C-alpha cells in the first residue's frame, strides 16, 4: 500500500477553511469575558458557561492539530511555522479569556458544587471537572494573577521552540560517506539508523560526529533548558508547592510516592540491566562495550528490512488478544489517512500521536525505515491512537482526554504484544535470539533508560530550586555521573565523557517531569500484558475499560481499580521477574547456538 502522508483534509478541506475557523474562534474569545460577570452559583449559568468553555477548546484542538501536523510535515516551511505560532498565541488568548473560571469554580466549594450537580442533571458530564476544580483551587492564584500567567504562557514555550528550530532546522550536522559510496547528513533520523550499523567503525564515527554538534551548541541549549526549568520552578513556587515535582504531579493527583518508588525499584533492578550489557558484549564479541555499541542489534537479523505493509500485518496480528473492537479501530486508522509514515528532508524527526481533534481522529507521525525498532515504534504510536479513539468513543469531550500517566501504558502494551507475537512465529534459534534481543532492549529503553532520565531530571530541578544556574558544563557533568552509574561504567560499558552531552539531545526534558511515565507505564503494561496473554478471567476487560475511561477519574485511581498500584513494589518486581526470564532464555540460546553479529572492531 503506497502512502505518502496523512490526510489533513479530515480536519479542514483547505487552508482557507482553516483560517475561516480560526477567525470564528478568535471572535468567540469574548465568550469568556461575557460569562465572567455572571454568577456561577446558579445551575443554569454554570451549565451555559461550561458548555461554551468546553466547546471553545474542543474547536481549538482541531485548529491546533492542523497547525502542528502541517508544520511538522516540513519544519523549513516558514508560513506553516508562523501559523503554528499564531495558533499557540490564540490558545494563550483563549486560556487568558477563561482564566477566571477555575478560581471561580474553586470558590464555590465542594458543598455548593454537589448541590448544583443534584439540581441540574445536565451537569453530570462536567462532574469530575467541577470536583477537580475545587481540589485544584488549593494552588490557584487570584483571578488577575491567573490571567497574567495565562497570557505569559507563550513565553514559557519559547525554550522548547528554540530547541526545536535550532536542532531540526539550523544545526550544521556533519556529512559522512557510507561504505556504498553514499554521502549522508548525520542528523537525528540518520543517527538513529547509523547507531545500529554492524560496522563498529562507522557507527563510532557517526556517533562522535553527531554529538560533536550538540557539544558545540551545549551552552546555547543549556540556556534554553535553564529558562524552561526556571519557568517551571518559579510557577511552582508562586502556586505554593513544596517542589517542582509536587507541582508537576499534582494536576492529575499522582502521589509523590510513585516517582520515588520508581527510582528506588529501578535502582534495585540495575544488576539485571548490567547483566543485559554483559550479554550484549558477549553477543557482539567485544571485550568492552562503548556508548556507540548500545544500539546495534545483536543476534542474527532474521527479518531484514520490513516493508510498511508487512509491519501493519504484524501489528494487526499481534493485537488480536485485545478483541474485535480494538482490531477494527486499528484497521480503520491504518487504512484511513491517519498516518504520515516516512522520513524526508525537513520533516520533524521522531514519532508521535496526537489525539486532540476529538471530532475527527488521531494523527500518527513516524519516520519509518523498515527496522524492527521502527515496527515497534509503529505499534507504540498506534497504541496511543486506539486509546484516543476508544476514549473519544466512550467519553464525552470533558472527560475524554487522558493524561500521559495512562497514555504510555497503551503504547508499551502494544509493543509487548508485538514482541510476544514475533516470538511465536519465529521458530529457528537464531530468529528467537534476534527477537529476544529486541524485546530486552525495548525494556531497557522504555524502563531503565527513562528511569535514568527521570533521575537526572529530578536532580536538575533540585539544583535550580537551590539557586544554581544550569550551564553546558554542569549539565554535562551531572548527566555523565548519572550515565556512568546507570550504564555500569567500569564493568560492562566504558562511558566516554564525550557522550555525556546526550542530555542536549533529549527533547522530553522540555516537557516537565514527563519521562518517568514511560518507565511506570512499562511496569503497568507488562503487568496487564502477562495477564491478558495468560487468559486470566477479566484481564482484557479491565484493560479495555481503562482505555475507555479516558480522563473520567484520576489516573492513579483508575489504575488501582484495574489492579495495578504503581506506588507499591509489586509492578516493578513483576517486571524484574519478566526481564530476568527473558535474559535466561537469551543467555541459553546464545550459549547453545554461539550466535552473534560480526562487528568491525576499530
DSSP calls for 170-204: I----EEE-TTS-EEE--HHHHHHHTT-S-HHHHH
The Cα–Cα gap between 183 and 168 comes to 19
Alpha-carbon distance of 588 to 492, in angstroms, equals: 20
Pull the grid cell for residue 188. 537525528
Q: What is the dihedral sign for C-alpha 10, 16, 17, 22?
A: positive
Which region holds residue 98: left if phi is over 0, alpha if psi is between -120 and 50, else beta? alpha
For residue 429, is pLDDT > 90? no
Report which of residues 6 and 598 the model is more confident about: 6
Are 315 and 375 contacting, i.e. CB atoms less than 8 angstroms apart?
A: yes
| 82: Cα separation from own chain's centroid | 25
Q: What's the pLDDT band for 462 if we cut at 50, 70, 90?
A: very high
Could you tell me how many helices (H) and strands (E) the chain has, helices first? 26, 7
Mean pLDDT of 375-404: 96
Query: How far is Cα 557 from Cα 563, in angstroms, rounded to an integer?
Result: 10
Q: What local confidence, expressed as pLDDT, does residue 121 receive?
A: 97
Instruction: Say what the pLDDT of residue 297 is.
Output: 82
> Could you write out the three-class secondary structure of 224-271?
HHHHHHHHHHHHHHHCCCCCHHHHHHHHHCCCHHHHHHHHHHHHHCHH
What's the mean pLDDT in 499-528? 95
**Distant-in-sequence, close-in-space partners of 12: CB < 8 Å, separation ≥ 6:** 18, 21, 62, 66
The pLDDT tens digits for 218-266 are 999 999 999 999 999 999 999 999 999 999 999 999 999 999 999 999 9
Computed over its alpha carbons, how large is the radius of gyration of the chain? 24
Question: Could you tell me the pLDDT band of residue 492, with boundaries at 50, 70 and 90?
Answer: confident
Mean pLDDT of the 429-433 span: 82
Q: What is the pLDDT of residues 310-326, one digit of tens each?
A: 999 999 999 999 999 99
Q: Reduced to 3 DSSP states, what percent helix, strand and coil does the chain have, rounded to the nearest 5?
A: 70, 5, 25
Between 6-10, 115-119, 139-143, 447-451, the lowest mean confidence (pLDDT) is in: 139-143
CA neighbor of 79 nearest in space, from 70, 89, 88: 70
Q: What is the pLDDT of residue 594?
A: 65
Distance CA(351)–CA(509), nearest Å, equals 16
d(CA 37, CA 528) in angstroms, rounded, equals 49
CA distances from 221 to 161, 164, 259, 463, 475 (A): 11, 10, 26, 17, 10
User: What is the CATH T-level fold of the domain 8-151, as seen in this structure?
Assistant: Butyryl-CoA Dehydrogenase, subunit A; domain 3 (1.20.140)
Q: Are 353 and 362 in contact (CB under 8 A)?
A: yes
pLDDT digits (tens, 9 = 90+) for 145-176: 888 888 888 888 899 999 999 998 899 999 99
What pLDDT does residue 4 have? 67
> How confident is the model over 444-473, as a mean pLDDT?
96
Contact 136, 251 (CB under 8 A): yes
Q: Beta strand pairing status for 363-365 and 352-354?
A: antiparallel
Q: Among residues 331, 393, 384, which one has the least CA distance to residue 362?
A: 384
Average pLDDT over the chain reads 93
Write down the residue that cell numbers 473560571 correspond to: 101
Distance, CA of 58 to CA of 69 (rounded, Å) = 17
State the catalytic residues. Answer: 381
Average pLDDT on 351-358 reads 94
CA angle 586, 377, 510 (to 5 degrees): 115
b/e code 217-237 from CB counts within 10 Å (16+ = b): bbeebbbbbbbbbbbbbebbe
What tens digit of pLDDT does each residue of 177-214 get? 999 999 999 999 899 889 989 999 999 999 999 999 99
Give the distance from CA 187 to its chain's centroid.
Answer: 21
Query: What phi and psi values does residue 254 have, to the nearest 5 degrees?
Result: -85, 125
SS (H, E, C) 338-349: CEECCCCCCCCC
Task: Give strand pairing partners of 493.
Answer: 289, 489
Evaluate if residue 601 carries a pLDDT over 70. no
Percent of the chain with pLDDT over 70: 97
Distance CA 437, CA 439 (A): 5
Closest by CA to 407, choosing from 375, 390, 383, is 383
CA dist., res. 432 & res. 423, Å (int): 6
Average pLDDT over residues 93-97: 92
Q: Determine the pLDDT at residue 564.
A: 96
Measured CA to CA, the distance from residue 591 to residue 433 in angstroms comes to 11
d(CA 231, CA 226): 8
- Residue at grid coordinates 563510532: 204
d(CA 542, CA 75): 41
Q: For the residues of 514-582, what is the DSSP string, one character each?
A: -THHHHHHHHHHHHHHHHHHTT-TTHHHHHHHHHHTTTSS-HHHHHHHTT--TTSSHHHHHHHHHHHHH
**Greater pLDDT, 333 or 435:** 333
Cell numbers describing residue 148:
497574567
Where are the alpha helices (H) located in 426-489, listed in sequence order? Answer: 429-443, 449-465, 472-487
pLDDT confidence of residue 132: 96
The CA distances from residue 106 to 43, 63, 128, 418, in Å, are 15, 29, 13, 45
Amino acid at each position: 500500500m503506497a502512502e505518502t502522508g496523512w490526510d489533513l483534509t479530515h480536519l479542514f478541506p483547505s487552508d482557507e477553511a482553516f483560517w475561516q475557523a480560526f477567525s470564528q474562534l478568535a471572535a468567540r474569545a469574548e465568550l469568556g469575558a461575557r460569562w465572567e460577570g455572571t454568577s456561577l452559583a446558579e445551575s443554569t449559568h454554570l451549565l451555559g458557561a461550561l458548555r461554551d468553555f468546553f466547546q471553545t477548546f474542543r474547536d481549538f484542538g482541531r485548529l491546533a492539530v492542523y497547525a502542528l501536523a502541517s508544520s511538522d510535515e516540513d519544519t523549513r516551511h516558514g508560513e506553516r511555522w508562523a501559523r503554528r505560532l499564531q495558533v499557540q498565541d490564540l490558545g494563550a488568548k483563549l486560556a487568558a479569556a477563561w482564566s477566571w473560571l477555575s478560581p471561580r469554580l474553586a470558590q464555590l466549594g465542594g458543598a455548593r458544587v454537589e448541590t448544583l450537580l443534584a439540581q441540574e442533571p445536565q451537569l453530570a458530564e462536567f462532574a469530575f471537572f467541577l470536583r477537580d476544580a475545587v481540589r485544584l483551587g488549593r494552588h490557584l492564584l487570584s483571578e488577575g494573577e491567573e490571567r497574567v500567567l495565562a497570557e505569559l504562557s507563550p513565553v514559557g514555550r519559547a525554550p522548547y521552540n528554540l530547541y526545536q528550530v535550532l536542532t531540526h532546522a539550523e544545526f550544521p550536522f556533519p556529512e559522512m560517506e557510507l561504505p556504498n559510496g553514499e554521502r549522508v547528513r548525520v542528523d537525528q533520523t540518520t543517527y538513529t539508523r547509523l547507531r545500529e550499523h554492524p560496522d563498529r567503525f562507522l557507527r563510532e564515527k557517526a556517533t562522535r560526529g553527531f554529538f560533536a554538534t550538540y557539544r558545540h551548541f551545549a551552552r546555547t541549549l543549556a540556556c534554553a533548558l535553564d529558562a524552561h526549568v526556571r519557568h517551571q520552578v518559579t510557577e511552582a513556587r508562586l502556586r505554593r508547592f513544596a517542589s517542582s515535582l509536587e507541582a508537576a504531579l499534582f494536576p492529575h493527583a499522582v502521589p509523590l510516592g510513585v516517582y520515588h518508588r520508581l527510582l528506588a525499584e529501578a535502582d534495585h533492578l540495575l544488576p539485571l540491566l548490567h547483566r543485559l550489557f554483559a550479554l550484549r558484549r558477549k553477543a557482539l564479541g567485544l571485550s568492552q562495550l562503548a556508548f556507540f555499541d548500545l544500539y546495534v542489534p545483536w543476534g542474527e537479523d532474521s527479518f531484514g528490512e520490513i516493508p510498511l505493509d508487512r509491519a501493519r500485518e504484524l501489528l494487526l496480528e499481534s493485537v488480536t488478544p485485545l478483541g474485535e473492537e480494538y482490531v477494527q479501530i486499528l484497521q480503520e486508522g491504518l487504512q484511513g489517512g491517519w498516518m504520515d509514515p516516512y522520513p524526508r528532508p525537513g520533516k520533524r524527526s521522531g514519532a508521535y500521536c496526537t489525539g486532540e481533534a476529538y471530532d475527527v481522529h488521531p494523527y500518527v507521525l513516524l519516520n519509518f525505515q523498515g527496522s524492527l525498532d521502527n515496527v515497534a515504534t509503529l505499534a507504540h504510536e498506534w497504541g496511543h491512537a486506539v486509546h484516543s479513539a476508544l476514549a473519544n468513543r466512550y467519553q464525552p469531550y470533558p472527560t475524554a482526554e487522558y493524561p500521559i500517566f495512562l497514555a504510555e501504558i497503551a503504547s508499551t502494551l502494544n509493543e509487548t504484544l508485538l514482541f510476544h507475537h514475533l516470538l511465536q512465529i519465529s521458530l529457528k534459534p537464531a530468529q528467537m535470539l534476534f527477537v529476544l534481543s529486541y524485546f530486552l532492549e525495548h525494556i531497557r529503553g522504555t524502563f531503565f533508560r527513562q528511569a535514568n532520565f527521570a533521575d537526572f531530571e529530578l536532580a536538575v530541578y533540585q539544583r535550580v530550586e537551590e539557586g544554581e544556574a544550569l550551564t553546558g558544563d554542569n549539565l554535562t557533568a551531572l548527566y555523565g555521573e548519572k550515565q556512568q552509574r546507570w550504564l555500569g561504567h567500569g564493568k560492562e560499558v566504558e562511558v566516554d565523557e564525550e557522550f555525556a552531552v546526550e542530555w542536549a539531545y533529549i527533547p522530553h526534558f522540555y516537557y516537565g517531569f514527563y519521562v518517568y511515565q514511560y518507565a511506570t507505564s512499562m511496569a503497568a503494561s507488562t503487568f496487564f500484558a502477562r495477564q491478558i496473554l495468560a487468559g486470566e478471567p477479566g484481564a482484557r476487560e479491565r484493560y479495555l475499560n481503562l482505555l475507555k475511561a479516558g480522563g473520567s477519574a484520576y489516573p492513579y485511581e483508575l489504575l488501582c481499580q484495574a489492579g495495578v498500584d504503581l506506588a507499591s513494589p509489586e509492578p516493578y518486581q513483576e517486571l524484574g521477574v519478566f526481564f530476568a526470564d527473558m535474559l535466561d532464555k537469551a543467555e541459553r540460546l546464545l550459549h547453545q547456538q554461539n550466535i552473534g553479529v560480526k562487528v568491525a572492531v576499530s
